Amino acid sequence: METNRFKCSFPDLYSASGMVIRAAMRHVVHFTALKPKYNLTYFNQLLNEVTATESIPPQSLRKSLIRSQRLQLIEQAKTCLTYWQHLKSYISDANAFSSQQLRPALKAAGLTIYSKAANSDWESIITLMNSGNRFMADNLAALTLNDNMPPVFPAQFNNQLVLFQSLHAQFLDTRKTTTITARQKLDAANSLYRKIIRLCKDGQRLFRHSPAIRQQFIWNKVLYQTRGAGSAGIHGTVSNNNNNQPVPNVTVQLLNTTHATISDPLGKYNLSGIAAGNYTLQFSAPGFVTQTIQFEILTGIWSILHISLQPVPG
């Protein structure tokens, strides 16, 4: 995987690149005379490239999604283990399995795998539940005799396995996609940076006798201007409008920017490093009505915004 060649943050790269491109557009006649490809069409395409690179999901959002899915996976694993413990009790109470037969029966149902499954070994969870399914299929009459095990339990048991497998597949797919997307974003950012640096060098050569214009094409100076002192942030909590309980895993995003995060288990969110200005803040979560709010970020000030989301009518 290619390394970061631009040695600054992604937001700084986008902002500084836009400044260089717009400066070149103001002097397009000179640039076109130097290289015919430097026309307004080319510069607009370059601005579109900035937007396209910026639109690739940020790493923080991708990592937050992975964390959220992993927490869901952990909770479902606990549910699977609970169901297996129910099965263990049904096996232990069944008249068909005497004291000598009990241990082999529990092993056949997956007992030897349980410790690994309980230690967040996802594949062992699946193996454990499949072993339980097979055991119930082979011993259904013995387990349900004398109302020992509810007839609906095998279906409930299997449903938990199916849900776990679905969450597991989503988790693996997201992790794989995240790796690919991270590489794509870095490759696109490096490609953009190379084009901007070439543009800067040509601009410096064109305006070597005009210091005021030339500094608009000195990358480090442009980068310094984009960083400035206007960085601020916003934080708050997201709650359920019906019961005031915190809402975790809410995607909080400043639209048309790369700033995004996900609320923690207490419903808290935090967005930092935001330049002063007016933004549209969007809150979205499964089971809730998406809410957007116009909000102003003030220079050097941390703003607080608490939000209540309305559950989707059901």
Containing 176, the helix (H) or strand (E) segment is helix 153-206
Torsion of CA 268, 272, 274, 278, to 10 degrees: 10
Q: Which two tokens stand for residue 94?
A: 């069944």
- 3-class secondary structure per residue, the chain: CCCCCCCCCHHHHHHHHHHHHHHHHHCHHHHHHHCCCCCHHHHHHHHHHHHHHHHCCCHHHHHHHHHHHHHHHHHHHHHHHHHHHHHHHHHHHCCCCCHHHHHHHHHHCCHHHHHHHCCCCHHHHHHHHHHHHHHHHHCHHHHHHHHCCCCCHHHHHHHHHHHHHHHHHHHHHHHHHHHHHHHHHHHHHHHHHHHHHHHHHHHHHHCCCCHHHHHHHCHHHHHHHHHCCCEEEEEEEEEECCCCCECCCCEEEECCCCCEEECCCCCEEEEEEEECEEEEEEEECCCECCEEEEEEECCCCEEECCEEECECCC
Asked if residue 249 and residue 160 are part of one domain, the reply reads: no
Residue 278 pLDDT: 77
Q: Give per-residue pLDDT as tens, 177-212.
A: 766 677 888 889 999 999 999 999 999 999 999 998
pLDDT band at 229; cut points 50, 70, 90: very low
Residue 60 pLDDT: 56
Is 298's pLDDT higher than 70? no
Indicate whether 135 belongs to any domain.
yes
Indicate whether 60 belongs to any domain.
yes
Q: How far apart are CA 100 and CA 161, in angstroms?
A: 29
What CATH number has the domain bearing residue 287?
2.60.40.1120
The domain of 64 spans 1-228
Residue 9 pLDDT: 79
Indicate whether 314 belongs to any domain.
no
Can you state the percent helix, strand and coil of the chain, rounding each to 5? 60, 15, 25
Asked if residue 241 and residue 218 are part of one domain, the reply reads: no
Q: Which residues contact 163 (CB under 8 A, 6 or more apart)?
A: 76
Q: Could you count the other beta carbons within 10 Å of the beta carbon of residue 66?
A: 15
N-term to C-term CA, the chain: 47
Residue 296 pLDDT: 77
Mean pLDDT (the chain) is 89
Q: Give per-residue pLDDT as tens, 43-99.
A: 999 999 999 988 887 665 566 777 888 899 999 999 999 999 999 999 999 999 988
Asked if residue 268 and residue 284 are part of one domain, the reply reads: yes
Give the end of a domain, one of 188, 208, 228.
228
Asked if residue 235 and residue 109 are part of one domain, the reply reads: no
Domains in the chain: how many in total?
Answer: 2
Q: Could you count the other beta carbons within 10 Å of the beta carbon of residue 193?
A: 20
Q: How far apart are CA 195 and CA 190, in angstroms?
A: 9
Give the end of a domain, one of 199, 228, 257.
228
Give the end of a domain, one of 201, 228, 255.
228
